[in-house]
């Protein structure tokens, strides 16, 4: 680093050139900020499940561990439902929940997600009917 006559440290020995470089870097950072900031790529996903019995009584079930952190934050928001829905179908086909459920029992899976926020503003509901293997 150089120091010019007014005792300001400079990179290029000219305050004018340093200012231009600083402004160019600042503009590039502002234009590319979404790409530069890692947390902009994070998609927060929450999955919950409710069992609705034939007599219309609702029970909130504990969310299975496989749905604790779907995607690990790396899925694009527009792909969340397409990626979680097959996992729900596979889980329900192999779980005791659907095999032991009475006819007419429904499982309502709620998938909520958001990009760059903890306020989950996108939502999708998937209803699995125990006697029809998912609808």
Inform me whether the pLDDT recorded for 61 exceeds 90: yes
Per-residue pLDDT tens digits for 68-107: 878 776 777 788 889 899 999 999 998 888 888 888 899 9
Task: Note whether 36 and 29 are within 8 A (CB).
Answer: yes
More confident residue, 73 or 36: 73
Query: CB under 8 Å to 125, separation ≥6 — which residues?
Result: 108, 109, 110, 111
Q: Tell me, what's the pLDDT at 134?
A: 46
Position with higher pLDDT, 79 vs 43: 79
The tokens describing 15, both together, are 């305050």
Q: How far apart are CA 27 and CA 49, in angstroms?
A: 46
Instruction: Give the Cβ contact number of residue 59 at 10 Å.
Output: 11
Residue ranges of domains in the chain: 2-36, 39-129
Q: How far apart are CA 115 and CA 105, in angstroms?
A: 33
């Amino acid at each position: 680093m150089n120091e010019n006559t007014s005792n300001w440290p400079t990179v290029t020995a000219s305050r004018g050139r340093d200012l231009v470089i600083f402004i160019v870097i600042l503009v590039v950072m502002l234009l590319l900020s979404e790409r530069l900031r890692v947390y902009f790529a994070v998609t927060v996903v929450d999955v919950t499940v409710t069992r609705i019995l034939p007599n219309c009584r609702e029970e909130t079930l504990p969310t299975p561990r496989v749905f604790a952190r779907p995607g690990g934050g790396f899925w694009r928001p527009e792909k969340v439902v397409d990626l979680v829905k097959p996992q729900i179908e596979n889980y329900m086909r192999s779980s005791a929940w659907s095999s032991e459920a009475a006819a007419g029992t429904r499982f309502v899976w709620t998938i909520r997600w958001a990009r760059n926020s903890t306020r989950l503003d996108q939502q999708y509901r998937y209803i699995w009917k125990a006697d029809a293997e998912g609808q």
